Amino acid sequence: MKMLINAADTVVSDALEGLAQAHPGIVRVMRNPDYVVRTDAPLQQQVAIISGGGSGHEPMHIGYVGRGMLTAACPGAIFTSPTPDQILAATYASASRAGVLYIIKNYAGDRMNFEIAMETLLLEGVPVASVIVADDVANPMQDLRRGTGATIIVEKVAGAAAEMGASLEECARVARRAERQSRSIGVALSACTVPALARPSFHLGDNEIEIGIGIHGEAGRQRTTIAPVAQIVDQLCSALVDDLDLRAGDRTLALVNGLGATSPIELYIVFYEVARWCAARHIVLARSLVGNYMTSLDMAGCTITLMRLDDELLQLWDAPVCTPALRWGV
Amino acid sequence: MKMLINAADTVVSDALEGLAQAHPGIVRVMRNPDYVVRTDAPLQQQVAIISGGGSGHEPMHIGYVGRGMLTAACPGAIFTSPTPDQILAATYASASRAGVLYIIKNYAGDRMNFEIAMETLLLEGVPVASVIVADDVANPMQDLRRGTGATIIVEKVAGAAAEMGASLEECARVARRAERQSRSIGVALSACTVPALARPSFHLGDNEIEIGIGIHGEAGRQRTTIAPVAQIVDQLCSALVDDLDLRAGDRTLALVNGLGATSPIELYIVFYEVARWCAARHIVLARSLVGNYMTSLDMAGCTITLMRLDDELLQLWDAPVCTPALRWGV
Amino acid sequence: MQITVDHVIRFLERAAALIREHATELTELDTVIGDADHGTNLNRGFSAVVVKLDALQDGDIGTILDVTGKTLLATVGGAAGPLYGTAFRRAGALLAGRHAIEGADIAAALEVALEGIIERGRVQRGEKTMLDAIAPGVETFRSAIAEGKSLEEAARCALAAVEEGMRATIPMQATKGRAAFLGPRSIGHQDPGATSAYYIACAMVGLNVDPPSDQNEAQLS
Amino acid sequence: MQITVDHVIRFLERAAALIREHATELTELDTVIGDADHGTNLNRGFSAVVVKLDALQDGDIGTILDVTGKTLLATVGGAAGPLYGTAFRRAGALLAGRHAIEGADIAAALEVALEGIIERGRVQRGEKTMLDAIAPGVETFRSAIAEGKSLEEAARCALAAVEEGMRATIPMQATKGRAAFLGPRSIGHQDPGATSAYYIACAMVGLNVDPPSDQNEAQLS
Ligand SMILES: Nc1ncnc2c1ncn2[C@@H]1O[C@H](COP(=O)(O)OP(=O)(O)O)[C@@H](O)[C@H]1O
Ligand SMILES: Nc1ncnc2c1ncn2[C@@H]1O[C@H](COP(=O)(O)OP(=O)(O)O)[C@@H](O)[C@H]1O
Ligand SMILES: [Mg+2]
Ligand SMILES: [Mg+2]
Ligand SMILES: [Mg+2]
Ligand SMILES: [Mg+2]
């Protein structure tokens, strides 16, 4: 499998150096342990918002570090949760007395590594709270839901609150609300290739797609055949809207996210169908985001996230943000 | 070949509707003839900056319509230059008495269609100028150079000048300067699939890459085998720097652009190598852009663009821009 | 014999049919040395022309050709749109107001159409484009008419020249259009535009006879 | 017999060697029902442990195990890092200051390590994880020691139980870890974590004999 890399074991470090050089005004990249932090951190009296997870999902999370979003991010090895050392180092570089909020995707590894870091912080008396993102409705069982696209929204909302001077409790509250109001689901047209493995992690036939895939190269829940986007979107949106109990008149934010190898023109087509689908049900798309925001290496396909908006979440979403991957209002 | 589309012949129109719904505050999408125009156009006393070209390169050009960049864009069919009707309709919707500047990529079709539109405008007495972008050094012969990544820079620079109230001559002058100071070259790891053809337009073996590819699914000039990114970047950057005669101390803007199916982590690795390569030669990377800015449907690979910066171009580059795909300072 | 409005309409309908029939072939040729859209684009354009023809039954030949050119310009895009569009519009301008034309008129119309392509494309013969098929056809037609050959005979000679010109593009290295980017790699492949020109020329032959049977059409392909 | 610092160091070196040797296999297993990183991650972690061992020759067993746990925590990441890291640190805490231990100590250390995994992973037996290999091994070891079996004999019985537990994960449906996302699709595949636990257990067996020859290692694979 061909990739634009130097070697499997330098993928993450080379990319981190690339990020550092591309956005010197926004982020500082620290190595061993690896983390990415706002150039202006630590910010006195501002809650630090920290996330992290395996690499291979760029721009998540490292591309969301900056004013109005994450204070720091901890990139693990490819698809591997970061270690407590990384998390603690990022925390010490970010946290003020206002405390730190961890945004954790619902994977066993992510949860355990952040938990260990939190145990240390509690011993040290650093105020810490966490929010677990579990938005992927592919699995009907709530505690088996993966954290996917909603993570970006939760990071944005929590970061906006922190930037406005909200307390740790307040940041955690809005983050949890954003999480509870969001659902995601994905579809893959092809698997991704983990560099160390050097071949796709599963195989899809020429006409096959997989519904309910995750973002770690894992297969999904249901294999079916390629169909016009309108049909695929119908299936995906139905799952989201049912689970979130969205109703006519509800305002929503829609994120159509490319998984890495899907072209922008396709993503706009998917978004069009999402917009039509919602319009037909009088669900209002008040805000939207279309592009590669959380990838799975070179997987082809997309995820759709819908979030129910209210005035508070809308205001936090609209607040200024200046990160490598998300930027507005500044 | 699987794609997230409804049908080959609705790809462009569906994507346009998607863009319209995703960015209602920035662009208006008009149909038959198709064009995308700033919501606030026509702007009195502001030169209209208009570009266009085949679709399949999103976000180019339709994603660059907005304050500080394009006034309007004309999306043709997939890889097909827009027609004079589209160009004229976009022009009438955009142009004030200050005139219109066309930014045209150096393809026979693009040139001829814009030329026909210009002939009409000249008859009607509308002040019009044009700049041809021919930045791809894959071809040693100057007039056979394709317009690629530099187009984005030229659009940004001209749009900034127009927004600042520059005259048509002034806008054309800075656009031409930006063009002359830019060079690009690309590498493909896989071909793209034109929806109507439904199979990749050429084939690359498991270890093959193609240097000097274009952005229309056309094969390149040289086929070689995959190598560490550092080696590929060395070859690409050498070609650019030679042709542009970049020297130690020169300030540059670097654009590492994904062709559609290449993951963000790879693009950051490419950018890292570009930054290292330039640093070793004391070429200063003063500004940069890393991401999918000009795609070739689902082609895997990237293009690298280097532009020599001076204070004027830097100022125009840094000026505020608010488009679907490029946004800062506002 | 004279060529009437009916003949011209029939020519355009047949051209559209042939382009539709060969759209995939044209796109395939364009895949090798271009961007895989020539057949799709011309088919879109000629289909649009056919739709317009209904309203033009009472028009003159010049108007019909002008509308054809305008329609191609407005719907084809790419390189082929302006080139064919300009050619038809130039011919239409020359034949404005005419309801019946003969050999010499056609030769003159072809001549201005050819000039239109050369000017619009800034192209010469030998650059591996549609011109390499069209130019020999136009020349052959003009000489044949000048020599007093029948319209049908002249058209058949011209078609043979077009076909030969089309095949002659195979060994050429392109220096115009998209194939030029490939440099020496463009050698060995037939030019898509020369090929579409051939099919359009096919539609011109036998204008004074009934529309070709399936068998005729099969021979063309 | 007694287990000394040397034995423990040798155990860790052999564990690292076995993990390196089987890294691809572990990653392959993780590709089927996980995310294709288990072998890569553990190999990175145990290689880092080996680097640390040099400086620990004069340390006590507790310290060595604690450093091992800390190193795995700091370098493995994912689910396996916290789980193995916690297990080693808990065992290290129990054996703090000890330079020689015997069967009952080892049984107690394994017990607290097991508890660490259960607590950290919030996991029970039957959820298709490393626990399903480790728990039967620990139980078997404790009973064997309680029954007065030799250390070597107890370790061999435990290894057999680990292997059986590892194989028993094949028909299970995962309800913890990444494989759980697959639901019923996780059935029919051996758990990667249970497999790495087996290789680590292999490294424990024969601690009182010389490091295994190549042949021994071959048998393990
Ligand atoms: N400058 C030119 N002059 C004459 N013919 C040209 C020129 N450029 C291209 N062509 C013709 O156009 C054909 C390609 O048409 P088409 O595929 O529709 O356009 P594009 O190259 O823009 O995709 C070529 O095969 C060639 O015959
Ligand atoms: N909650 C848990 N409790 C115990 N073991 C677990 C748990 N979650 C995962 N595991 C084990 O971890 C293994 C996967 O480890 P690894 O691949 O390193 O982590 P990740 O799943 O984060 O990529 C699984 O095969 C399983 O044995
Ligand atoms: Mg992992
Ligand atoms: Mg084209
Ligand atoms: Mg073409
Ligand atoms: Mg794993």
**Model confidence over B62-71: pLDDT tens digits?**
999 999 999 9
Does C60 map to a domain? yes
Contacting subunits of A (3+ beta carbon pairs below 8 A): B, D
Residues B31-47, mean pLDDT to the nearest whole number: 96
Q: How far is the C-alpha of C135 from the C-alpha of B30, rounded, in Å?
A: 39
- How many A from CA of C177 to the centre of ligand 1? 5
Task: Name C143's Cβ contacts closer than 8 Å, sequence gap at least 6.
Answer: none
3-state helix, strand, coil in chain B (%, to 5): 35, 30, 35
Strand boundaries in chain A, DSSP class E: 27-30, 35-38, 48-55, 72-78, 100-105, 128-133, 182-190, 208-211, 222-225, 251-258, 284-291, 300-308, 321-322, 327-328
* Average pLDDT rounded to a whole number, residues B266-275: 98
Contacts of A196 in chain D (CB under 8 A): 27, 36-37, 40
A4 three-class SS:
coil
Does position B128 have pLDDT exceeding 80, yes or no? yes
Query: CA of C24: how far to CAs of B301, B306, C33, in Å?
Result: 27, 39, 15
- C178, B218: Cβ pair inside 8 Å? yes
Q: Is residue C212 part of a domain?
A: no
Say whether D83 and A112 touch across the interface (CB within 8 A). Answer: yes
Q: For strand B100-105 and strand B128-133, is the pairing parallel, antiparallel, or unpaired? A: parallel
Within-domain flag for C11:
yes
Q: What is the pLDDT of residues A161-189, one digit of tens each?
A: 999 999 999 999 999 999 999 999 999 99
Cβ partners under 8 Å of residue C13, min gap 6: C50, C53, C211
pLDDT for position A272: 98
Task: Enumerate residues 6+ apart whose C-beta is below 8 A from A106.
Answer: A132, A133, A134, A143, A145, A146, A147
What is the tens place of the pLDDT at every residue in D121-163? Answer: 999 999 999 999 999 999 999 999 999 999 999 999 999 999 9
User: B168-171: which pairs have CB atoms within 8 A and are 24 or more residues apart?
Assistant: B168/B47, B168/B98, B168/B99, B168/B100, B168/B101, B168/B127, B168/B128, B168/B129, B169/B129, B171/B47, B171/B49, B171/B101, B171/B129
Domain with CATH 3.40.50.10440 in chain A: 12-180+318-328
User: How does strand B72-78 pair with strand A251-258?
Assistant: unpaired
Residue type, B136: D
Query: For position A144, what pLDDT does the model report?
Result: 85
Query: Is the per-residue pLDDT at C209 higher than 90?
Result: no
Are A139 and D176 a contacting pair, CB within 8 Å? no
Report the distance separating Cα D217 and Cα B34, nearest Å: 69
- Whether residue C152 is contained in a domain is answered as yes
Is residue D37 within 8 A of residue D77, CB to CB? The reply is no
The distance of A307 to chain D (nearest Cα, Å) reads: 22
* pLDDT for the residue C211: 39
Position C219 pLDDT exceeds 60 = no
Answer yes or no: is pLDDT of B141 > 90: no
CA distance B222 to chain C (A): 10
Residue D213 forms part of a structural domain: no
A56 pLDDT higher than 70: yes
Read off the pLDDT of each residue in D87-108 and give the average, rounded to a whole number: 97
Place of tokens 């579990």: A134
Asked, for residue D110, whether it belongs to a domain, the answer is: yes
A61 is catalytic: no
B300/B270 Cα distance (integer angstroms): 13
Residue D215, pLDDT > 70, answer no
**Residues spanned by CATH 3.30.1180.20 within chain A?**
183-309
Quote the pLDDT of residue D220.
Answer: 36
- A184-231 pLDDT, tens digit per residue, is 999 999 999 999 988 898 899 999 999 999 999 887 878 999 999 999
pTM over 0.90: yes
Strands D3-4 and D100-101 turn out to be antiparallel
Q: What is the pLDDT of residue A219?
A: 79
pLDDT of residue B139: 84
Residue A141, both tokens: 């069982």
Alpha-carbon distances, residue C98 vs A91, A110, C91, C109 (angstroms): 85, 80, 11, 12
The answer to the question of residue D211 being in a domain is no
Q: Is the pLDDT of residue A104 over 80?
A: yes
Q: Which CATH architecture has domain A183-309?
A: 2-Layer Sandwich (3.30)
Whole-number Å distance between alpha carbons of A111 and D77 = 11
> How many structural domains is chain D composed of?
1
Parallel, antiparallel or unpaired: strands A284-291 and A208-211: unpaired
Segment D17-34 mean pLDDT: 96
Overall fold of domain A12-180+318-328? Rossmann fold (3.40.50)
**Residue among D33, D40, D176 whose CB has most ligand 2 atoms within 8 A, to mutate:** D176
Distances (CA, A) of B310 to A317, B122, B252, B286, B315: 37, 34, 8, 10, 8
- The token pair at B292 is 């999918």
The model's confidence at residue C207, banded by pLDDT at 50, 70 and 90, is low
What's C174's domain CATH number?
1.25.40.340
Tens digit of pLDDT for each residue in C111-143? 999 999 999 999 999 999 999 999 999 999 999
Rounded Cα distance between D42 and D19, Å, is: 7
D176 lines ligand 2 (CB under 6 A): yes
> Could you give the CA distance from residue A218 to residue A214 in angstroms, rounded to a whole number?
6
Q: Which domain holds residue C24?
A: 3-205
Residue A95's pLDDT is: 86
Asked if pLDDT for residue D221 goes beyond 60, the answer is no
Q: What are phi and psi of B187, to 5 degrees?
A: -140, 135
**Across residues D63-92, what is the average pLDDT?**
98
**Residues B276-304: pLDDT tens digits?**
999 999 999 999 999 999 999 999 999 99
Helices then strands, counting H and E runs in chain B, come out as 8, 14
C218 within domain boundaries: no
Give the pLDDT confidence score for residue D210 in this predicted structure: 42
Q: What is the ipTM of this complex?
A: 0.93
> Which chain D residues are Cβ-neighbours of A147 within 8 angstroms?
none
User: Which stretch of DSSP H or E encloses residue A8?
Assistant: none
